[in-house]
């Protein structure tokens, strides 16, 4: 790994200042960034750790739903969101392994936007708001394809606000070596309708399955999606699964997520 300067500010303003310099890169839990740097796929001149900023930590109820500080580790979300949004807590408790969950953070996952990461599906299915140091970004505007987001250079996710659904569930089909989602589906039922977000399946990253949303908004039951077919043309094809396999998984897992949400 190439060497770099390490800084650890204690306020968002100081972090933003540090990130405004050429070659600066934010570091949250580092569970993806550090392996990436070891491969020399990233070589920042300065790493700005975001883990010592108190206002970016923790889980609490507030305006618009459940507020989660962007530097909150998965293990803390798994524990502290459980009473308020159990499906989200369960998702957090299934990421990686226990040691990874003690370091990896929700903000880091969202800033990276890995196409097989779990959190993007929860954010998109919940219609959550990604709050940064300069603005609020709706989930529907935030995710812009593989490893791409609406974030500007140096912009810092400070928290995420999740509207709490009436019912919800996340079902993940693990890729057992990486523990990322081979495909994962998050279903969330709100008074205004159902949202279905799929991760791990599409070449364009996390996406909403709108046909399923319409069917489930009319009838929230696994049977409601029986007649639907997921288009396979944009699915990921790799040694773990073909496009048709993933398209089928999306439908199967959506049905299972609805059943789990109703249980």
Partner 1 sequence: MTKVSMTVNGRAVSAEAEGRTLLVNYLREGLGLTGTHVGCDTSQCGACVVHVDGQAVKSCTVFAQDVAGADVRTIEGMANADGSLSTLQQAFQDHHGLQCGYCTPGMVMSSAALLAENPKPTEAEVRYHLEGNICRCTGYHNIVKAVLAASGQDVTKIAAE
CB of 224 to partner 1, least distance (A): 32
Instruction: Give 96 or 193: the residue with its C-beta nearer to partner 1.
Output: 96
CB of 20 to partner 1, least distance (A): 19
Instruction: Give 43 or 262: the residue with its C-beta nearer to partner 1.
Output: 43
Write the CB contacts of 159 (distance below 8 Å, at least 6 apart in sequence). 56, 67, 68, 69, 70, 131
CB of 73 to partner 1, least distance (A): 8
Instruction: Give 13 or 43: the residue with its C-beta nearer to partner 1.
Output: 43
Instruction: Give 75 or 212: the residue with its C-beta nearer to partner 1.
Output: 75
Instruction: Give 31 or 132: the residue with its C-beta nearer to partner 1.
Output: 31
Instruction: Give 20 or 178: the residue with its C-beta nearer to partner 1.
Output: 178
CB of 91 to partner 1, least distance (A): 15
CB of 15 to partner 1, least distance (A): 14
CB of 106 to partner 1, least distance (A): 16
Instruction: Give 82 or 167: the residue with its C-beta nearer to partner 1.
Output: 82
CB of 99 to partner 1, least distance (A): 5
Cα–Cα distance for residue pair 30/121, rounded to 1 Å: 20
The DSSP code sequence of the chain is ----EEE--SSHHHHHHHHTSTTEEEESS-TTHHHHHHTTS---SEEEE-TT-GGG--EEEETTEEEEETT-BHHHHHHHSTTT-HHHHHHHTTSS-HHHHHH-BHHHHHHHT-TT-SHHHHHHHTT-EEEESS-EEEHHHHB-STT-BSPPTT--EEEEEEPPPSEEEEEEEE-TTT-SEEEEEEEEEETTEEEEEEESSBTT-SEE-HHHHHHHHH--SGGGGTT-----TTB--BTTB-HHHHHHHHHHHHHHHHHHHH-
Cα–Cα distance for residue pair 184/192, rounded to 1 Å: 23
Binding site for partner 1 (CB under 8 A): 1-6, 8, 27, 30-31, 34-35, 37-38, 47, 49, 51, 75, 96-100, 102-103, 177, 179
């Amino acid at each position: 790994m190439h060497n770099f300067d390490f800084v650890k500010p204690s306020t968002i303003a100081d972090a933003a200042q540090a990130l405004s310099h050429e070659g600066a890169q934010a570091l949250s839990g580092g569970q993806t960034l550090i392996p990436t740097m070891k491969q020399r796929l990233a070589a920042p001149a300065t790493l700005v750790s975001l883990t010592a900023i108190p206002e970016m930590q923790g889980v609490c109820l507030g305006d618009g739903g459940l507020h989660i500080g962007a530097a909150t580790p998965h293990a803390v979300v798994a524990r502290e969101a459980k009473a308020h949004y159990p499906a989200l807590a369960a998702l957090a408790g299934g990421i990686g392994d226990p040691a990874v969950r003690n370091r990896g953070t929700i903000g880091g996952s969202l800033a990276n936007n890995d196409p097989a990461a779990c959190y993007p599906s929860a954010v998109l299915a919940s219609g959550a708001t990604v709050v940064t140091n300069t603005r609020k970004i709706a989930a529907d505007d935030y995710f812009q394809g593989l490893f791409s987001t609406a974030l500007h250079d140096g912009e810092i996710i400070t928290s995420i606000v999740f509207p709490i659904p009436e019912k919800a569930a996340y079902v993940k089909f693990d890729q057992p070596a990486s523990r990322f989602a081979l495909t994962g589906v998050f279903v969330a039922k709100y008074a205004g309708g159902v949202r279905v977000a799929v991760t791990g399946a599409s070449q364009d990253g996390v996406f909403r399955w709108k046909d399923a949303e319409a069917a489930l908004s009319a009838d929230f039951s696994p049977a409601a999606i029986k007649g639907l077919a997921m288009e396979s043309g944009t699915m990921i094809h790799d040694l773990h699964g073909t496009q048709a396999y993933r398209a089928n998984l999306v439908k199967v897992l959506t049905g299972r997520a609805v059943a789990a949400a109703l249980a």
